[in-house]
Amino acid sequence: MSQSKSRITAFGTYVPERILTNADLEKLVETSDEWIVQRTGMKERRIAAPDQYVSDLAIQAVEDMVRRYGVTVQDVDMILVATSTPEYAFPSTASRVQSKFKIVSTGALDLNAACAGFVYALQLADGLLCSGAYRKVLVIGAETLSKITDYTDRTTCVLFGDGAGAILLERDEESPGVLASISGTFGEGGIHLYKTALSEQMDGTDLKSGCLVQNGREIYKWAIRNIPEGVRTLLSKANMNAEEVEWFVPHSANLRMIEGINERGPFTMDRTLTSVEYRGNTSAASIPLALQLAVDEGRLQAGDHVLLYGFGGGMTYAGSIVRWTI
């Protein structure tokens, strides 16, 4: 049985104004709209302006949440931001959010779990609320991957976009919304998806410095082998079957990868929410962006059970089943 004592009370997102289409990418590298769609399912991505950073996107997502639900963030006890693309090593992105909203007394913490970051942050927030030490936690997944993408590399530059999503979790002992969670890591696969910082070696192997580097073939094989079984493990932990979950929301890495996962897993594509087609791969932001698209389209309704599953860099994963309560 879940020990959760939290539920989602508000939600918001933001994507930058600039659109990068497949036709735009044809002008940068040797590629085509047909090639990109066939291999990734992507048609567009949103790209941050040169002077727009991840804290700006995070703040806009929170502002969207406040507008949509009329909530206040002035009394949150903790701000958690999942991101791999902070504009500073420190201060944290979370502290920039605190500064913008002038929240008098709150913790502020960034966490880096790459594409699994949003679900990890959700799990951490749920644990803080369950402890009784916190009453209200702001969780944000935000990325500006365009700023670390090599636009001369035709295999990766077609994939990535920018965006942010925010949720408000509040303590609720009567009708908690987080039903079960799992997480895990295959750290030995970290070399297949990395961005260097202080070291240009990993386990004795020289790395390419600067931009994001991805071995798409290895990532695909790892995901296809491991994610379907992880989804089944999470369902078992929640004592649920797939028919009791209305929506599967995996990290929107690549539409073909998601199709491959579903071919081996318990869900079908018509019950899967993604943001990949018009947002690209937005790492920690991809799951909240998929949720927002489904809310706006009227597909995701209060009371629905949703299985969130993030996976990626560090070869880490995190899954949670939540009851959508707004």
- For residue range 129-142, list pLDDT tens digits in order: 999 999 999 999 99
**281 catalytically annotated:** yes
**22 catalytically annotated:** no
- Does residue 84 contact residue 313 with C-beta atoms inside 8 Å? yes
Which residue among 22, 254, 262, 281 is the active-site one?
Answer: 281
Question: Using one digit for the tens of pLDDT, what is the confidence trace for 138-157?
Answer: 999 999 999 999 999 999 99
Residue 2: the pLDDT is 62
Q: End-to-end CA distance of the chain: give it in Å, rounded.
A: 22
The length of the chain is 326
Residue 129 backbone class (left: φ over 0; alpha: ψ -120 to 50; beta: rest): alpha
Strand pairing report for 162-171 and 6-14: antiparallel
Which residue among 115, 157, 192, 262 is the active-site one?
Answer: 115
Residues with Cβ within 8 Å of residue 6, at least 6 apart in sequence: 125, 126, 129, 130, 137, 169, 170, 171, 172, 176, 177, 178
**251 catalytically annotated:** yes
Residues in the chain predicted with pLDDT less than 50, given as ranges, are: 1
Residues with Cβ within 8 Å of residue 127, at least 6 apart in sequence: none
Which residue among 22, 251, 254, 262 is the active-site one?
Answer: 251
Q: Mind listing the domains of the chain with CATH numbers?
A: 6-171 (3.40.47.10), 178-323 (3.40.47.10)
Residue 175: the pLDDT is 87
